[in-house]
Structures are given as C-alpha cells and as structure tokens.
A and B are shown apart, each in its own frame.
Chain A
Amino acid sequence: MKAAEPESGFSMAADGGRSLLLQTIQSISRGHFDALDTLYALPGEEGIAPEVAELAESIGLILVRLEARDFHIELAAEAEQRLQELNALKDKYLGIAAHDLRNPLSSIRGMSQMLIEMDLDKDTRKSFLESINRVSNQMLTLINDLLDVSVIESGGFELNLTEGNLSELVDERAGIATVNAQQKKITLSTDLQDVPNCMFDTERFRQVVDNLLTNAIKFSPSDTNIHLTCREIGTTIEIAVSDQGPGIPPEEIDKLFGAFETLSTRPTGGEKSTGLGLSIAKQIVDSHSGEIEVESKVGIGTTFVVRIPVKQQS
C-alpha cells in the first residue's frame, strides 16, 4: 500500500501544510493508515506540529467510522424493506381474515340462528344447510392454505417422500374432480400412461393436482372440456392439465405463482379465489426438484405442466 505523499512542487510554506493534511485525512478515511507515517516523518522544521498530525488522524478515523455507519444504514434499510414486505403480507392475511372469513362466519351465524328460532319452509332450510356446509368447507380450505403459506414463509416446509405412482395418483384425483366438473357441465378427459414409480410426497402432490384441477374447473365455462395427461418424458414424469377457459393475459403470467395474487380473470361459477393455491403448488413442485410451467392463450385456454424427475436427488 502506497502512503500519501506530497504532490511534486508542494511547498509547506505556500499553504501551511493544508494540502498535505487533507491528502492524509483522505488516505486514512480509505483505510490507508500508513499515510500518517509520511506526516509524522516530515523534517522537524517544516514538519507539522504533532497535535495537528494527531488531529488529522482523528478526523481520518471519524471518516472511517462514518463510512462504517453508512454501511450499517444500508443494512438497516434492507432490513426495513424486508420488514415492510412482511408487514404487507401480514396486512393481506388480515384482509383475508376480515373479508373472506368474517363474511361466511356471519352468514353461518345468521342462518343457523334462523334455523334454531324460526319455523322455516323446507326449501329455505335445505338451502341454508347446503350453504352452511359449502361455506364451512371453503373456510377450512382457506385456513389450510393460509397455514401452508405461513409454513412456507417461515421456511419450515418439509417433504415426506415415499415411492409411488403419479399416474395412479392423478387418476384418483381426476375421479374426485369429475363430480365438481359435472356440476358445471364441464367434461374431464384423461390420457394417463404407464409411468415408472418415483419418490414424492403423496399428500403434497395430491394438493398440487387438486389445485390445478380445481383452478381449471373454477375458470372454465360450461360445455367445455378439461384434458389431463400423465406421461414419462426423458428422465421426468410430466402431468399436464389443459382447459378451454378464458386464458391468462400475457402481462399477468408473471404474477401467477405469487402468494395472494388474484388476476383479472374471474371464476365462472362465483367460486372463491384467494390466490394462494398456485403459490403453494409451485413451492411443492420446486421442493421436489421439479418445475411448473404455464402456457396460455387468451380466448383459447390454459395448460399447466408439472414435471418432476423420476429419480429424486437426495
């Protein structure tokens, strides 16, 4: 490291050593502490009084501290940014609790109280009980999703990998989804090929397939078809769900897998959408070293593709 030296032609007499002092202070502030040696080594007569040299050293050190402080301020700003993000997430949780849980709870309370106290006709009673049942299920799903997101956010997401067959799992989920699809006059076709067994978390993967199927049903109009495939491609197993829904505008594709992102497209049967499902699905697929992709054309339909390796890396 080179010490600060007086410029050529430097004259102590000319500015009383001011330039040399400034240079030395600057050097110290950049961490070049040996610059002090030059200062202290100046010949006695022309030299700078030791008090002044000490002062220069002190100022230099103050500058070093100031720089360190700037660095800490930067760190603090980053921490504050993260805190703000978490705060925004918390606000979204509260927003969901306020609207999506409070409304159905109020309606459940209102309907159940009427069922207890009033002599209602058979049709009203039936529609109340069906609504209470449906809304309770929706609330339970929402609470489960919120808990999943909170586990993911806190980094405590763990997989329970066992050997199984994805084609069989997809077949099982398709059977269950068919009932919901039929209610909206949507057909479900499948092409499930023989695939080798692989390691996956059965419960979590059920969630992924259910989520893709539920979304497809939610956003598809009546008299359309949802096509579901499972096949082996190279070293991966691929599951694809294609719908003939309204499609997703290109500018919204990037937001698709973010937590709490609901897009401009609305469910066709008045269903609820909290924007948590796809974010959870992506997290599950990612943790299987897999990938989830979407292809969509507005007015034509959307295909979600999930691929996971046949052999999981430990």
Chain B
Amino acid sequence: MNGDIKPRVILVDDDESIRIWLKGLLVALGCEIAGEAANGRDGVELFKKERPDLVFLDVQMPELSGDLALEYILAADPDARVILLTSVDSSRFIYERMEAGAHYYLSKHAPPDEFKAALEEQINNLKQIP
C-alpha cells in the first residue's frame, strides 16, 4: 500500500466509549474509518460490505462473539487483517486466537503510550505492504 493512502479500517466493539476513543486515535494516526459496529454479527456484515484494509475486533461481544466473527471474516476473505481487541491478558488465550488466524492483538487496558505505539506500528506495517 502506498504510504500516502489512508488505510481503511472498521471498528467492532460493543463498548461505545472504546469505539469513540479508538476512532479518534486511528484518525490521528492517519486512518480512514470505513465504519463501526457494536456486535459481531453487524461487524461481519460491515466487513463484507466495506472490505477494509484492517479490522479491529473486540473478543467479548453480544449477538456473535469476536471469536466467531473472526472465523466468519476469515471465511469471507482468508487474507483479512484482523487485530483483536482483548481484555484478557493470558498468553494461552492470545495464542489460541493467533492460531485461529488473527493478525495481531492489542490489550485495551495496556498503558495508553504502549497501546498507541503498538497501534502505530501496525498501521505503518500496513502502509508498507506493496
């Protein structure tokens, strides 16, 4: 992806305040928000409709959990880049999700500086994809 083009991302999290925060942060980091959803089912539909460059997906959600949403998204596009937003820090939990095909994970409760740095790295990686 050309460095000048804004990565298109979607945000799927049932917590409105988390979405508002991440939206602000992603825009500040040069992303375009293609859409947002408050549950897994709507998130999968949004993915199919928008085909974004990057998906931010919460794990614990109503309607359809993030785990299942991840499966559906990868079934729709095996190359989809999904970054999981977790509240759980156990390495086994994270290992299982990475095995399931998640591209990366971010702990929502990490210190803001760390969170921002990790997010920035992911966005920059995306920009360097030819």
Contact = CB atoms under 8 A, between A and B. Distances in A.
B112 A120 contact: no
Given A102-B109, A113-B112, A270-B38, A134 B17 contact: yes
Interface in A100-149: 102-104, 106-111, 113-114, 118, 120, 124, 127-128, 131-132, 134-135
A132 B18 CA distance: 10
Nearest to A112: B112
Contact of A103 (B15, B27, B38): B15
Interface residues of A, number: 24
Given A120-B28, A127-B24, A135 B17 contact: yes
B31 to A, nearest CB: 13
A269 to B, nearest CB: 10
B86 to A, nearest CB: 11
Which 10 A-B residue pairs are closest in the complex by CB-CB distance?
A107-B17, A113-B112, A107-B21, A131-B20, A135-B17, A110-B21, A103-B15, A111-B21, A124-B24, A107-B18
A141 B50 CA distance: 37
A99 interface: yes
A106 B109 contact: yes
Contacts of B68: none
A128 B20 CA distance: 7
B28 A118 contact: yes
Nearest to B60: A99
Contacts of A124: 24, 27-28
Interface of A: 98-99, 102-104, 106-111, 113-114, 118, 120, 124, 127-128, 131-132, 134-135, 266, 270
A110 B112 contact: yes
A107 B27 CA distance: 16
Given A99-B87, A131-B16, A110 B60 contact: no
A110 B15 contact: no
A120 B23 CA distance: 12
B16 A114 contact: no
B87 A103 contact: yes
Contacts of B15: 103-104, 107
A132 B17 CA distance: 8
B100 interface: no
A120 B14 CA distance: 24
B25 interface: yes
A132 B25 CA distance: 15
Interface in B59-95: 60, 62, 87
B18 A106 contact: yes
